[in-house]
Amino acid sequence: MIEKDRHAASTRGAAFHDHASHDMIRIFILASTFKFFVYLIAIFSNLNKYMPTVSLPKAFLILLNGTDYQIGEGHRWKRGILSVAVALAVTFPLFNLLHSQFYTGAVPPEAPVVRSVGNFTSGIYNRRSINRQYSIDFHSNDGKIYNLIDSDLDVERIGQANSGLNFYVEGFLLQDGRGFFWPTLISERDGHVLLSRDKSNQSLNKNRDPFGKILLWEYGLILPLLLISLSNAIKIRNKLSRGS
Q: What CATH number is attached to the domain comprising 121? A: 2.40.50
- In a domain, residue 109? The reply is no
**In a shared domain, residues 198 and 220:** no
- In a domain, residue 22? The reply is yes
**In a shared domain, residues 124 and 192:** yes
Q: For residue 212, give the nearest of 102, 101, 97 by alpha carbon.
A: 97
Mean pLDDT of 25-36: 59
Is pLDDT of 205 > 50? yes
Is pLDDT of 135 > 90? no
**In a shared domain, residues 12 and 76:** yes
**In a shared domain, residues 30 and 97:** yes
- In a domain, residue 236? The reply is yes
**In a shared domain, residues 200 and 220:** no
Helix and strand element counts for the chain (H, E)? 8, 6
What is the tally of structural domains in the chain? 2
pLDDT score for 42: 56
- CA atoms in the 13 A half-sphere facing the CB of 91: 9
pLDDT greater at residue 238 or residue 198: 198
Amino acid identity of residue 144, one-letter, is K
Helix boundaries (H) for 101-208: 155-158, 174-177, 197-208
pLDDT score for 198: 95
| Integer Cα distance of 109 and 107 in angstroms | 6
Q: What percent of the chain has pLDDT over 70?
A: 73
For residue 151, the enclosing domain spans 114-206
> In the predicted model, what is the mean pLDDT of the chain?
79
Using an 8 Å Cβ cutoff, are 57 and 42 in contact? no
pLDDT score for 62: 86
**In a shared domain, residues 178 and 133:** yes
- In a domain, residue 89? The reply is yes
Is pLDDT of 126 > 60? no
**In a shared domain, residues 149 and 131:** yes
**In a shared domain, residues 48 and 20:** yes
Mean pLDDT of 151-170: 89
Using an 8 Å Cβ cutoff, are 166 and 118 in contact? yes
Mean pLDDT of 147-168: 88
Is pLDDT of 232 > 80? yes
Is pLDDT of 9 > 50? no
Mean pLDDT of 140-163: 88
Q: Beta strands 145-148 and 193-195: pairing type?
A: unpaired
Q: Confidence band (pLDDT; 50, 70, 90) for 30?
A: low
Q: Confidence band (pLDDT; 50, 70, 90) for 51?
A: very low
pLDDT score for 63: 86
- In a domain, residue 94? The reply is yes
- In a domain, residue 80? The reply is yes
Is pLDDT of 112 > 50? yes
| Integer Cα distance of 184 and 110 in angstroms | 14
pLDDT greater at residue 118 or residue 239: 118
Mean pLDDT of 54-66: 84
**In a shared domain, residues 45 and 14:** yes
pLDDT score for 21: 54
- In a domain, residue 108? The reply is no
Is pLDDT of 83 > 60? yes
Mean pLDDT of 53-58: 80
Amino acid identity of residue 60, one-letter, is F
Question: At 93, which helix (H) or strand (E)?
Answer: helix 75-100
pLDDT score for 4: 38
| Integer Cα distance of 161 and 147 in angstroms | 13
Q: Residue 148 in 3-state DSSP?
A: strand
pLDDT score for 13: 42
**In a shared domain, residues 8 and 91:** yes
What does R_g of the chain's alpha carbons equal in angstroms? 26
Query: For the whole prediction, is pTM greater than 0.75?
Result: no
